[in-house]
């Protein structure tokens, strides 16, 4: 009588890095030929654990070097804890635990959360990585999600129709140190929405359908990086991580040569100790050149590959792309093309980054940034500021949005000439830039209009600096008007509503004489006059 294992086949679906366009990992999906073995596994933790072990063995038979994702129901993990069958399969296949991510699948209802967290702690201490799967289409409580602190969160593509929710999840992932992935992506429009919302990974029929053979080639649409994808400090190195080719530190040169000749896309091999910590880095071209020289194979084939390697260059998985470039710049010139190993807080290798990926992405971001700069002041335009406003709204942060302009600027241009007017605008822009501190963002939206986005407590010194400066154009004294709206969490829904709250405050500031500053609060009537004189000098309503 055939076993139930004879009726289960496994398919592989690539998890795609939306920054590099490469395959970051493979998710192994059970495909029963008859019956509903998955429904049984949902009720039977032992059966589910055996399915996970079979998935790993199926991947081993395909000889893929890519990291793997294996699905385990939340109830299974809580009941079995250590997942002995899965651990045995990983060891027997020659895999390292940190090459395997456990995708925790809903439902979470009736799963004892304390037991689940203990089990996650156990498997994580052994090196396995944790993914919270089915978020947005499942029943994962938000508090449990934060307690799990997964390395990866997978959102259902249906959530892309609610971009504010996706941006909020991206913010949560940043707080947790997790990557954000979208699964079930079927169209280029969905892919663009995922990038715009800040997702770093994705999978779905658009890139490649589940297949019996692991796919290394995927279709990725040409997309511009999303506004949310690159914080001011630089994009995270996690956006650029590629799977690493790993071999034990004791590997021979012959073993490394066999791996490189059988995998033309591999640019280098990292030799790791039993804990997964990189100890030597073998560069493809230099290694093969040594092996192909006179007597090279005879001299080196049976010798330790470490003798033909170099000390690894490493960065933490919390580094930025700019920090990786610093590591490359500080190294030897003949190693600029070497992969840089990315390690977790235990020092274990989680992948590599290639210099070409970083240079390409950072160059594109600089070109896009330059295209959005005002040619007169070289300050970003309104899109950069309004995008940051939306991010702060999604983060639930209080912020102050201000509108600054020159009083009677047309008369300044008419009286002093446009050159003097341009120089005045440049001088105001420079002063704003120098006065900005911390997370304050300054933008020039055209003409004599500037936007300032700041934390409420940092706005006072900036306003004092700008409004107290004796401005002039062509020898004529000039004053500035400043209008500010304070936006508490929940008071506005997006940048458009914040701008609408700011508009009447600007009119109120312009109605005052001299340098003026008017302050209002989103959702509340009236405003406060902090600078200026005139009919509205008292509290205005």
Angle ∠(176,181,185) on CA atoms, nearest 5: 160
- Position 404 scores a pLDDT of 95
What is the predicted pLDDT for the residue at 539? 43
Angstrom distance (rounded) from CA 462 to CA 437: 9
pLDDT score for 232: 39
Average pLDDT across the chain, whole number? 86
Among 74, 202, 203, 80, residue whose Cα is nearest residue 139: 74
pLDDT at site 166: 86
Instruction: Identify the pLDDT of residue 537.
Output: 42
Question: Which residue numbers in the chain have pLDDT < 70?
Answer: 1-6, 35, 63, 81-82, 215-216, 223-234, 293-301, 361-373, 534-541
- pTM beyond 0.85, yes or no: no
- Check if the beta carbon of residue 379 is closer than 8 Å to that of residue 428: no
Rg of the chain over all Cα atoms, to the nearest angstrom: 28
The reported pLDDT for the residue numbered 330 is 75
Distance, in Å, from the CA atom of 142 to the CA atom of 165, rounded to the nearest integer, reads 13
- From 291, 523, 505, 278, select the one nearest 405 (Cα to Cα): 505
Query: What's the pLDDT at 509?
Result: 94
Q: d(Cα 163, Cα 247) in Å, to the nearest integer?
A: 42
DSSP strands (E only) in 97-219: 100-105, 129-135, 152-156, 179-183, 201-203
Residues 6+ apart with CB under 8 A from 159: 136, 137, 165, 166, 169, 182
pLDDT score of 227: 38
pLDDT tens for residues 442-466? 989 888 999 999 999 889 999 999 9
What pLDDT score does 372 carry? 55
Q: List, for residues 379-433, the tens digit of each pLDDT value.
A: 888 888 888 898 889 878 899 999 999 998 888 888 888 888 889 999 999 999 8
Q: Which alpha helices (DSSP H) does 126-162 contain, by range?
A: 142-148
95-114, pLDDT tens digit by residue? 888 889 999 999 998 999 99
Per-residue pLDDT at 294: 62
Confidence (pLDDT) at 323: 82
């Amino acid at each position: 009588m055939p076993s139930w294992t004879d009726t289960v086949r496994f398919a592989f679906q690539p998890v795609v890095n939306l920054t590099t366009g490469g395959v970051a990992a493979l998710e192994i999906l059970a495909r029963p030929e008859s019956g509903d073995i998955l429904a049984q596994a949902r009720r039977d933790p032992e059966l589910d654990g055996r399915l996970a072990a079979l998935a790993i063995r199926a991947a081993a038979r395909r000889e893929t070097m890519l990291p793997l994702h294996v699905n385990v129901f939340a109830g299974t993990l809580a009941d079995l804890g250590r997942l002995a069958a899965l651990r045995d399969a990983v060891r027997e296949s020659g895999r390292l635990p940190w090459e395997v991510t456990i995708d925790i699948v809903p439902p979470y209802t009736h799963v004892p959360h304390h037991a689940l967290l203990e089990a996650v702690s156990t498997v994580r201490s052994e090196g396995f990585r944790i993914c919270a799967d089915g978020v947005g289409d499942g029943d994962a409580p938000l508090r449990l999600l934060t307690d799990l602190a997964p390395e990866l969160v997978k959102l259902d593509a249906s959530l892309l129709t609610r971009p504010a929710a996706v941006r909020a999840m991206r913010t949560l992932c940043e707080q947790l140190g997790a990557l954000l992935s979208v699964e079930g992506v079927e169209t280029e429009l969905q892919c663009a929405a995922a990038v715009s919302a800040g997702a770093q990974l994705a999978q779905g029929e658009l890139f490649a359908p589940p297949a019996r053979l692991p796919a290394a080639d995927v279709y990725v649409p040409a997309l511009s990086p999303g506004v949310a994808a690159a914080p001011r400090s630089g994009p995270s190195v996690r956006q650029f991580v590629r799977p690493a080719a790993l071999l034990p530190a004791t590997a021979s040169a012959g073993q490394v040569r066999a791996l490189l000749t059988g995998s033309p896309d591999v640019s280098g091999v990292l030799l790791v100790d039993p804990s997964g910590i990189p100890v030597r880095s073998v560069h493809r071209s230099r290694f093969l050149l040594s092996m192909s020289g006179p007597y090279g194979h005879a001299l080196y084939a049976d010798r330790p590959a470490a003798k033909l390697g170099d000390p690894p260059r490493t960065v933490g998985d919390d580094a930025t792309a700019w920090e990786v470039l610093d590591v490359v710049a500080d190294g030897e010139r003949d190693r600029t093309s070497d992969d840089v190993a990315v390690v977790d807080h235990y020092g274990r290798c989680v992948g590599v980054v290639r210099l070409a990926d970083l240079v390409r992405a950072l160059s594109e971001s600089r070109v896009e940034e330059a295209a959005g700069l005002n040619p007169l002041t070289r300050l970003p335009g309104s899109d950069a500021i309004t995008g940051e406003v939306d991010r702060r709204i999604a983060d639930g942060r209080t912020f102050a949005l201000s509108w600054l302009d020159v009083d009677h600027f047309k008369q300044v241009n008419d009286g002093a000439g446009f050159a003097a007017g341009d120089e005045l605008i440049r001088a105001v822009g420079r002063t704003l830039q120098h006065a900005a501190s911390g997370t304050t963002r300054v933008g020039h939206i055209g003409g004599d209009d500037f936007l300032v986005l700041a934390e409420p407590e940092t706005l006072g010194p900036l306003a004092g600096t700008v409004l107290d400066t004796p401005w002039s154009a062509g020898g004529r004294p000039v004053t500035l008007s400043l209008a500010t709206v304070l936006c508490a969490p929940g008071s506005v829904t997006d940048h458009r509503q914040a701008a609408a709250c700011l508009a009447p405050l600007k009119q109120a500031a312009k109605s005052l004489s001299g340098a003026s500053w008017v302050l209002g609060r989103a959702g509340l009537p009236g405003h406060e006059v902090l600078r200026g004189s005139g009919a509205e000098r008292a509290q205005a309503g």
